[in-house]
Amino acid sequence: MNLNSKSISKSIKTEALRLGFSSCGIAKAEFLEEEATRLEQWLENDYQGKMHYMENHFEKRLDPTKLVPEAKSVISLQYNYFPSELQRSDSYQISKYAYGEDYHHIIKDKLYQLFQFIKDNIGEINGRVFVDSAPVMERTWAKKSGLGWIGKHSLLISKQKGSFFFLAEIILDLKLEYDQEFKTDHCGNCTSCIDACPTEAILPNSTIDGSKCISYFTIELKDEIPSSVKGKFEDWMFGCDICQDVCPWNRFSVAHLEPKFNPQADLLNMSKKDWEEITEDAFKKVFKKSAVKRTNYKGLRRNISFLK
């Protein structure tokens, strides 16, 4: 590794922190051989449910050079979204990541700034930025970049920060200094997330049966929610944070510093009755730029009716 690559890698990490990312790691862009078998088995077991997009782009998910020709490096980044205030506990709940504005736009803008910083310092390079919007195995790359380990709930966990953060990547055709993969599993014998999951979606070996997850039912599934899970959602109307809320490592979570992730006051204070009576205009106001719009007004009404 020459000094140039080392200094460039250090400057990228410094700039990432300046832009608001909480961590940055770099891995060598290579075929994810171990993940190929796991992904194939996961799909064969129909754990994707009706998320048919998961069946597409198999090779792209495993090989970064299919996304960026001659890719050399994968830069992985974490962006904290843990809120300083929560919804009232006696209300229908939405996942904390959706409290404020849609994270895709906010983080992608910062990724473009970081990518431009690299080009300004290196010259013309090829690359792409990703925020949960393409077939990238983000948790695997974050682990390979040394940012944490994959917990039993299948999410990346950091010893210092817990798991309430978004993951994002820049794949580029520039050789950098690579971090050591995080190989220690600090979950140990803890089964808090498995025990707490009301729909038994968390399986052994850090595997999620996506077709049983509350987030799947309340966001991804466009059909009627099956009666077999009636009474098992514990008031979650959009997404679910149960497995993260019970994780001991999240006692280290600290409030984010991103103003755009702050919710409208209306959202935190709404009661169950308020949600049950919400109009389409009120929905558009509360979730003006939110990821909750993904389920749309009719979808949220469906979820609330299912919880009643």
pLDDT in tens, the chain (308 residues): 445 899 999 999 999 999 999 999 999 999 999 999 999 999 998 989 988 888 888 899 999 999 999 999 999 999 999 999 999 999 999 999 999 999 999 999 999 999 999 999 999 999 999 998 788 999 999 999 999 999 999 999 999 999 999 999 999 999 999 999 999 999 999 999 999 999 999 998 789 999 999 999 999 999 999 999 999 999 999 999 999 999 999 999 999 999 999 998 889 999 999 999 999 999 998 998 999 998 999 999 999 999 99
Minimal CA–CA distance to 216: which of 229, 205, 203? 229
Write the CB contacts of 254 (distance below 8 Å, at least 6 apart in sequence): 80, 82, 161
* pLDDT value of position 3: 53
Cα–Cα distance for residue pair 141/170, rounded to 1 Å: 11
The sign of the dihedral angle between the CA atoms of 195, 200, 204, 207 is negative
Catalytic residue among 132, 173, 245, 274: 132
Is 132 labeled as catalytic in the residue annotation?
Answer: yes
Contact yes or no for 172/187 (Cβ under 8 A): no
For residues 26 and 74, the answer to whether their CB atoms sit within 8 Å is: yes
Sheet with 73-80, side-by-side order of all strands = 23-28, 73-80, 165-172, 127-130
